[in-house]
Amino acid sequence: MRVLGVNAIFHDPSAALVVDGRIVAAAEEERFSRRKHGKRPVPWSAWELPEQAIRWCLAEAGLRPEDLDAVGYSFDPALCVDLAGFGLSDPGDRTRADYARRAPRFLAAALPGLDPDKVKFVPHHVAHAASAGLAAPFEQSACLVLDGRGERGSHLAGRYDGPELTVLAAQDLPHSLGLLYEDLTEHLGFLRSSDEYKVMALASYGKPRHLADFRELIRTTDDGGFRTEPVDWAAYTPKLTGGAEVSDAAADLACSVQRRLEEVLVELATWLHEQTGAKALTMAGGTALNCVANSVIARNGPFDHVWVQPAAGDAGTSLGAAFQLSAAAGRPEPMATAALGREWSDDALADCLRKAALPFETPADLAAVTAQALADNGVIAWYQGRSEYGPRALGHRSLLAHPGRPENLERLNDIKGREQFRPIAPLVLSHRAAEIFDGPLPSPYMLFVHDVATHWRDRIPAVVHVDGTARIQTVDPADEPLLAAVLREFEARTGLPVLVNTSLNTAGRPMVDSPADALELFGSTPVDLLVLGPHVVRRAGAFR
């Protein structure tokens, strides 16, 4: 069974292809268009399709549109209601729903040969749920979905038994933890539906001075749902504009909301565990990208295992929609990796370097050459294999650096054009992680934060956040042999089994995807070494 999944309705448009229950390809449109998040989540953009991502997915499998058995669209306009009845004002929402109804014809026009009757609507939160519950390595699990909004709600709680989802709770709008966090993001001068992770980072600099207030404003209910009351944000700190200096009051507000979010998520997870008795919790929806909250659920919640979809935001609903339709033929294969995007052969990468007239070498021991450059405090643009699906750089499109030099935090934030309060993350071999980091292990997708052991904090200061934590990625040598070799070689030279890993991009730009993207970044930033597949370009030799 050949099923294409499409996300297009809000933001982070994406496509995923599942063939006979196995993921063949998945990618976000932003990696092709080079526009962050693909588009803004306004009703007038709902007609736009991730055409480049779709075409690449089909090409990767050698399929034509007419070869598809089904196309899952991760939004069901039949579930839409007049939001005015929920006390929300969104005059364009009817336009959004109308564009969604026309999606089968839009897709048929974009993909000549596709029968529009093959396009099936998958409810937004069901698509989120399937992206986690059907992708995780558990036959049974509890599933929790939380985001800004879907057709009419912002939450789903359920249970997976094999391929079957039983919905146990759902929360209607206007109550939404995701929209609440988006409102806070906007109030603090950041871009809503984009910069929520900045608020999470900022929260570590503050104190939860207003927690009592937010315990009144955000409450769980006995039926597995919650209530979010309107917030007078200006009563806590004046509204900030983009680029304004962030104040202590802003950090305290961020901290207060973050702490209450964590408490509410634990309460929702506890209710769900009481209903299901499941050992594993699977999670998706944009709120599940809050790695601090995920760690609190793992530490304080009742589940033995917590598994979060690496593309937990709306991009993941394309995979969820494809999985949901594929499940009619049986449970799909679990998601074994997030490296589901484009890749280029070693020869094609060399060709790109020759066309760019860049001198390069292809060393016999790439790991040793890279580790030595890192030990010498070089910053490495690291480009290997298939690109990642989701917002995290997982060692395929990464910037690597020395974690023992405290100045590297400021240095990398300057290279990327980011705010200085934002942390950078560590890479560590799976079998070494427990010596240094306390938290859910293994952590291959960088979706949890871990406490850094006290005696390690001074040894790897570049990757330790202000609160003594780090958002780690564990590396299994069986899955990532080259990256594991670099870690071993670096430790042999420095005594440190950890590397800095942050995404290969600059502020406001999507992660690097193609070799051309990598060359553009290398040419425009003070990166010391570009490792493009097996090939190495040194800045000193390339730019004289």
Active site residues: 11
Side chain identity at 360, as an amino acid letter? F
Helix (H), strand (E), coil (C) string for 183-246: HHHHHCCCCCCCCHHHHHHHHCCCCCCCHHHHHHHEEECCCCCEEECCCCHHHCCCCCCCCCCC
> Please, what is the Cα angle at 181 between 290 and 253, to 5 degrees?
100
Asked if 501 contacts 473 with a C-beta cutoff of 8 angstroms, the reply is yes
Q: Rounded distance, CA 513 to CA 31, Å?
A: 6
DSSP string for 422-437: ---EEEEEGGGHHHHE
- In 3D space, the residue among 200, 244, 184 whose CA is nearest the CA of residue 422 turns out to be 200
User: Do residues 436 and 456 lie in contact, with contact meaning Cβ atoms separated by under 8 Å?
Assistant: yes
CA dist 125 and 143 (Å) reads 11
DSSP per residue, 302-364: S-SEEEE-TTTTTTHHHHHHHHHHHGGGSPPPP---SB-S----HHHHHHHHHHTT---B--S
Query: Is 249 in contact with 237 (CB distance < 8 Å)?
Result: yes
- Cis omega before residue 526 (within 30°)? no
